[in-house]
Amino acid sequence: MDGTGPTVSEPEGLYQLDQAGLAALAEARGGSGGGGDLVLLYHFEGFMDAGHAAEQVMEHVLGERFQIGGGGEDGEDGNPVVVRFDADRLVDYRAQRPTMTFDTDHWAEYEAPALEVKLARDAIGTPFLVLYGPEPDTEWERFAAAVIEVVDQLGVSLSVNFHGIPFAVPHTRPTTLIPHGNRQDLLAGYTKWFDRAQVPGSAMALVEFRLSERGHAVLGLAAQIPHYISRSPYPAAAMRILEAVTGATGLVLPSQDLHTQAQRVAAEIESQVTQGDDELRTMIQSLELQYDSVAGSESQTNLLAEQQARIPTAEELARQFEQFLAEQDRDTDH
């Protein structure tokens, strides 16, 4: 197998370029459609995002401070849509049921799923793109081909994805990232956790894989979330992802509000731990020793091979992913 994947139809009709959004992008880049490197940040809801890490990042970068214009009411026009994907083709509505609002005696609102590329700018006005929305349920290969077309047409120089994964780490230590991609210069300096693992696939990972095959620069960031709080918002991880994105792309993405949230959440966790039983405190102390042991072994080339007793194996990691996804599915069903 050469990894090139099956032959798929051209992604015609799967997405539509928005002319007003393209004009806004051209203006933001200097009026000529050029004007330097263009970064694409992307994440799809519905797969794995322990600690709601990527969700918080997306809410942050699509927030008011990073909008292109002043926006209309509620700032809804502040991030112009540049590309719209056909959600009717890509989303299984019975698997990801949209929300509808019933008011007294009639249906008043329908929140249609939207999978879009939006335009944003950083704190000093540099434009960048954000692809966000529900993970496609179908046509992954065609969707990946469509994203490649969009990346080519818009002149994207680096595509970055991110999410949170449950991991055996303590909340009392800094959030660790597992990087991946084809930009070796951006992967340097991170701890190597394992050599090879088979885990459940995702549209996000496939897009990265296909982009890399076509020679496009890609970077993925997996934030390790303490497994015992992986289903609750963990802003410290979102803040760490933003710091890494800033370091890799040069975008200026202040995260003071996330820092404030992270401090509050840390205090809440510490309060619960203090009031908890001895077993919980003992587990966290064990995780701290494990973390510190690994952090002090950065000179080793393969931490998994030499720290088997302290780091989960690839098989254990895969099982942990599958368990997390199964719990998410049960929550959705109910």
Where is average pLDDT lowest: 19-23, 31-35, 37-41, 255-259? 31-35
Q: What is the mean pLDDT of residues 172-178?
A: 95
Q: For 134-162, what is each residue's pLDDT tens digit?
A: 999 999 999 999 999 999 999 999 999 99
Single out the residue of 207, 239, 196 nearest to residue 85, CA to CA: 207
CA 294 and chain centroid, separation: 25
| Rounded Cα distance, 181 and 158, in Å | 11
* Structure tokens belonging to residue 131: 């692809």
Which bin fits 35, alpha (ψ -120 to 50), beta or left (φ > 0)?
Answer: left
For the CA atoms of the chain, what is the radius of gyration? 21
Closest alpha carbon to 194 in 322, 316, 302, 287: 302
φ/ψ of 232, rounded to 5, equals: -115, 150
Whether residue 325 is predicted with pLDDT greater than 60 in this model: the reply is no
Q: What backbone torsions phi and psi does residue 81 show, to the nearest 5 degrees?
A: -80, 125
Q: 3-class secondary structure for 284-321?
A: HHHHHHHHHHHHCCCCCCCHHHHCCCCCCCHHHHHHHH
User: 215 — alpha (psi -120 to 50), left (phi > 0) or beta?
Assistant: left
For the chain, the helix, strand and coil percentages under 3-state DSSP, each to the nearest 5: 45, 20, 40
15-333: CATH topology:
Rossmann fold (3.40.50)
Highest mean pLDDT (candidates 1-10, 20-29, 60-69, 278-287) = 20-29
Residue 277: which of 228, 235, 227, 323 has the closest Cα? 228
The residue type of 58 is M
- How far are the Cα atoms of 178, 187, 276 from residue 50, in angstroms, in the given order? 14, 22, 22
- pLDDT of 68 strictly over 80: no
- Domain residue ranges of the chain, discontinuous segments joined by +: 15-333
Query: Would you say residue 269 has pLDDT above 70?
Result: yes
| DSSP one-letter code for 62 | T
Q: How confident is the model over 305-313, as a mean pLDDT?
A: 45
Beta strands, E only, 150-279: 156-167, 177-181, 218-226
**1 pLDDT more than 50:** no
- pLDDT value, residue 5: 57
